[in-house]
Amino acid sequence: MKKLFMIIPLVVLLCFALSCQQGEELAEEPVVDVEADTAGIRGMLDDWYAAYNTGDIDKIVSLYTEGAMIMGQDEPAKVGKEAILASFKQEMEQYDMQVDEGIVEDVRVSGDLGMARGIDIGTITPKEGGDPIKFNVRWVAIYERQTDGTWKTICEIWNNNIPPAASPEKE
């Protein structure tokens, strides 16, 4: 009988504890739509190419976060929107620049971060005359989802896409 008097309060306490948990709302899992996220990044890249090809520097810079960094080949990194603006402004004052073929090879998303990589093939023509310069660069960029759901660049790096040299045949 003593055991029964000890078990009954434990059962009541256990039932009370479990009933309290049932009233709590469970946090809903966030809805992940990878297809929509990758489409959002691809759309932002389309905007970047259009702005680049028309020389719309303000639009280009609007696609970067405040603390973004760009790292081009053989030059110091540009950190922050003001440095990025100054860099694009200097280039576009000296050259007409055109991406003839922007190839986005891969886009991936994980939560509020995304990445893409690709190849850009185009032409830079000096405004003061001279022969056009062809370019072929490969790039990787990291993006961050903004509070309004859009994507902006937080870091990008590029370098020349030079095919590997032919290796000498072994004899």
**Domain boundaries defined on the chain:** 34-160
H helix or E strand, kind and range, residue 47: helix 34-54
* pLDDT value, residue 25: 57
Structure tokens at 72: 């081009």
> Residue 41's closest CA among 150, 117, 119, 137?
150
What integer pLDDT is reported at residue 34 of this predicted model?
85
Report how far residue 10's alpha carbon sits from residue 31's, in angstroms, rounded to the nearest whole number.
40
DSSP 8-state secondary structure symbol assigned to residue 25: P
Q: How confident is the model at residue 166, as a pLDDT? A: 66
Alpha-carbon distance values, 106 to 31, 85, 95, 145 (Å): 22, 27, 29, 17
What gap in Å lies between CA 57 and CA 86, rounded to an integer? Answer: 10
Separation CA 39–CA 148 (nearest Å): 15
- Cβ-based burial of 140 (10 A; exposed 0-12, middle 13-18, buried ≥19): middle
For residue 97, the model assigns a pLDDT of 94
- Position 64 scores a pLDDT of 98
Question: Burial letters for 69-84: b for 16+ Cβ neighbours within 10 Å, e otherwise?
Answer: bbbbeeeeebeeeeeb
State the pLDDT at residue 7. 53
Cα 20 from Cα 85, distance rounded (Å):
57
CATH 3.10.450.50 for the 34-160 domain, yes or no: yes
DSSP state of 77: -
Going residue by residue through the chain, which has 171 residues, state the pLDDT in tens, using 9 for 90 and above.
555 455 555 444 444 555 555 545 555 666 678 899 999 999 999 999 999 999 999 999 999 999 999 999 999 999 999 999 999 999 999 999 999 999 999 999 999 999 999 999 999 999 999 999 999 999 999 999 999 999 999 999 999 998 766 666 654
